[in-house]
Chain A
């Protein structure tokens, strides 16, 4: 069992070496990168915006409902929403959701190509299939922090709308709360995490799709396994980075 895991980890790192060897022609690669940006980044914006706006609103309402003590200022609603959304919700939980959305798309699209011998066809033609299929995805996820930036903004905005228009506090209180004890490094920390999560989101599902064996049923299984491992690694890396960067 342990040997199998170690062998898989070794294979994962060898995959990285292969991704960067024998590059595909730039004229072809350019088109592939734009296609991946469209599939992985642009197509994710809708669901990320929807979830961020409403979860931001819920965080704000729940904070407001727990403020029973009159000595605690209403500015805490904006402060708590900002901290929750920027530190954890946008970078980590949106990434776990993206492990399902983006990750299963990557695993199933590459896995289907494996099942239907399209990857063998690329290899037989002399194309480095890992570079052709995975490299453009890795470049596309460099824009992933942009998605999380939007998520941060909409999360806080959703919190504002819920707090002010739900009658839980005044607009000025919420905005004051957003500005209290603001640590610019927290945003840097969130983007450092996001960058690393983006790399995990592209590479782990690609690994599971590329090296899968079997038929259509196994494509589904590979997608599930890829989602589980990507989520587990996001949570573990989140813990390690928080320890390293915030303590």
Chain B
């Protein structure tokens, strides 16, 4: 579980996060949504320790990040898996080497054991036969699956995803969404996804946090988002006719 208490973050004179508090529970897919510039990415990067909030605390299962020393922070980071928007695979390494990288860095496992684990997670993300290919030789959807495999290879407690569906076709996007949800449930991971893809919200949003102008405007489940009368949420989520109709159908039922 990750608990955020009243975090504030500024860049120069501009305050991006203005006191955000929420809880992301383990075994659930937690979504952060909001318009561009609402502070989603800054919130995610603050969770990852890339940005340091000026005010407030972030605690990972009771461990307050700002109270940890640098070694403890690095230790905590080994419990984190991250899926970057552009996959962030290491160009010079093959698919196998990318996935095995965290194991090679942080465990004393021998080559055979690492390879077995790599094979297992690649099979889990339905990516067999691409072991020796370079990231430049596979499609965007496959790169995302490699990135997921790399993120989960050392059994992380926390999984962060930044726009996991950006640049993917609808089929592949749904596949990635379902994969993230299945893995979250299977390994009881605290998953936090930064997205503005409404399909993801409807598919996998077990907890949704809506940010507006650096503040938490609303939070709830995907069922609650259909019934909410919060104007900002309704304007954002139901800006397309398709989702308006989906909502109307849901409410009629």
Contact = CB atoms under 8 A, between A and B. Distances in A.
A120 interface: yes
A127 interface: yes
Given A24-B105, A28-B105, A118-B90, A124 B50 contact: yes
Interface in B176-233: none
A126 B88 contact: no
Contact of B86 (A22, A117, A123, A127): A117
Contact of A121 (B71, B88, B104): B88
A124 B51 CA distance: 12
Interface string A9-40: 00000000000001011011000000000000
B106 A126 contact: yes
Interface stretch (B29-37, B74-82, B126-134): B74-82
B88 A120 contact: yes
Interface in B68-117: 70-71, 74-78, 80, 82, 84-86, 88-91, 101-102, 104-106
A117 B84 contact: yes
Interface residues of A, number: 17
Contacts of B101: 125
Residue of A28, A112, A117, A125 contacting most chain B CB atoms (<10 Å)? A125
A118 B88 contact: yes
Contacts of A121: 82, 84, 88, 90
A124 B50 CA distance: 8
Interface in B42-87: 48-50, 70-71, 74-78, 80, 82, 84-86
A116 interface: yes
Contact of A120 (B50, B70, B74): B50
Given A120-B50, A125-B77, A25 B105 contact: yes
Nearest to A126: B77
Interface of A: 22, 24-25, 27-28, 112, 116-118, 120-121, 123-128
Interface of B: 48-50, 70-71, 74-78, 80, 82, 84-86, 88-91, 101-102, 104-106, 160
Given A22-B70, A117-B84, A118-B89, 7 more contacts: A27-B104, A28-B105, A120-B48, A120-B82, A126-B75, A127-B105, A128-B74
